[in-house]
Structure 1
Amino acid sequence: MLIRTALGFANHLLAGEAWARKRLQPFAGQGLRLICGPVTANLVIRPDGTLTEADTSNVPAVELILPPEALWQSGGDREALIAATRLNGAADLAETIGFVLRHLRWEIEDDLAPVLGDVAARRLAKGAARFIAWHQRQAQAFAQNLAEYFSLEKPLIVQRFEFAAFARDVGQVADATERLNRRVESLTARRNP
């Protein structure tokens, strides 16, 4: 269900961008495998440059691997999400897929305008963008507050400078212990000729 929804959305975006379909058309019939944690989708490029589901026996020419944590770590930042994605396989198709992913945009206003009208669609899109940005700022502030709480007030997390000082101290104790061992061995050797 999720894969079909995502595939429908991807084809909706491709339908609105002739340049993207044109770039994908030379690769018609070649397979893609999208992997995000336990979710795997096998796709094939159609002759018109859109995508369709493929069966599992289809050998993909390219694999797109997205670490699951990248979905929440990116915070909705498209560039960060694309940067976290690894492309493996045929270089020419991987390069084309990467280019299409970086440049394909969803113009939500264009989809809402026929239903709501131009002004309402623009206001709704701008309001949604502000709402999403506000949520991202709140999530980031919450994460920072949580890290501060667990590192300063209830020290469950060691701060970087504290860890560096501890490591330095451990190194100094190890050096002193080594010097002491050498001194003891030297004195023992002198006593027992």
Structure 2
Amino acid sequence: MIKPLLTRLLGHLIKQNSWARPHLQPYAGKHIRLQLFPVSATLVVLEDGGLAMAGDTAIYDASMRISPSLALRLLAKDASAHSEIALEGDTEFAIALGKILQAMSWDYEEDLSHVVGDVAASQISQRLQEGVAATRKQAVNLTEMAAEFWQEEQPLIAKKRHVEAFNRDVDTLRDDVGRLEKHIEKLSARLDALLQKQS
């Protein structure tokens, strides 16, 4: 029941973003599993460059897993969040599809105008844009507060400067150990030489 509806929605989205078809056609027949806890779905690229929902038992070529916290960062347009999406299988296909989906836009104002008229659709669209902007701002604030809490109050995440200082200390220790090993080797060689002279 829900899969045909989602397939129609994907078809409508592709129709509004017809530029995407030629970019998707090279991946025709490929399946990708999208996992955004607790929801997961498998999409298939159609021969004409469209997208459709695949069956639950479909074997997928790639998978893309996004945690809820990462989804908030993506919503907040955090550029570094994209590199943290967990990809498996055919990563070239997953990355290409991810970029295409990210570049797509839904012209909901046009769709609303067919239902409620142009003026009402414009007003609803403006309210939706304001709501999305407010949600995005709240997501950024929430993410920043959570990161600060995990760094200061309950240190689960190390600060970048602390990680860099730790790495420098490890490098210094490694170099010191290397010098100490060479010094011990020299002392051992001298001791062997002295023992051989005495015998």
Q: Within 5 A, what are the aligned runs for 1:92-103?
A: none
Q: Find the aligned partners of 1:108 and 1:161 in 2 and give their Cα distance.
A: 44
Amino acid at match of 2:183: R
Is 1:183 aligned to 2:188, yes or no? no
SS in 2 for 1:20: coil
Is 1:113 aligned to 2:110, yes or no? no
In structure 2, the partner of 1:172 is 172
CA contact (8 A) 1:42 1:55 kept: no
Normalised by the size of structure 1, how large is the TM-score?
0.62
Amino acid at match of 2:182: R
Q: Find the aligned partners of 1:41 and 1:155 in 2 and give their Cα distance.
A: 39
Match of 2:64 among 67, 71, 74: 67
Is 1:132 aligned to 2:132, yes or no? yes
Deviations 1:161-184 (A, max 9, x none): 111111111221222222223223
Q: Residue 4 and residue 43 in structure 1: after superposition, are their counterparts in 2 closer, same or farther (change >3 A)?
A: farther
In structure 2, the partner of 1:40 is 42
Q: Find the aligned partners of 1:74 and 1:169 in 2 and give their Cα distance.
A: 34
Q: Find the aligned partners of 1:67 and 1:191 in 2 and give their Cα distance.
A: 61
SS in 1 for 2:155: coil
Normalised by the size of structure 2, how large is the TM-score?
0.61
CA contact (8 A) 2:34 2:65 kept: yes
Q: Residue 66 and residue 127 in structure 1: after superposition, are their counterparts in 2 closer, same or farther (change >3 A)?
A: farther
Q: Find the aligned partners of 1:55 and 1:154 in 2 and give their Cα distance.
A: 42
Is 1:150 aligned to 2:138, yes or no? no
Q: Residue 55 and residue 144 in structure 1: after superposition, are their counterparts in 2 closer, same or farther (change >3 A)?
A: closer
Amino acid at match of 2:41: V
User: Which sections of structure 1, spanning at least 5 residues, go unmatched?
Assistant: 89-94
Q: Residue 154 and residue 179 in structure 1: after superposition, are their counterparts in 2 closer, same or farther (change >3 A)?
A: same
Q: Residue 41 and residue 154 in structure 1: after superposition, are their counterparts in 2 closer, same or farther (change >3 A)?
A: closer
Q: CA deviation at 1:132?
A: 1.4
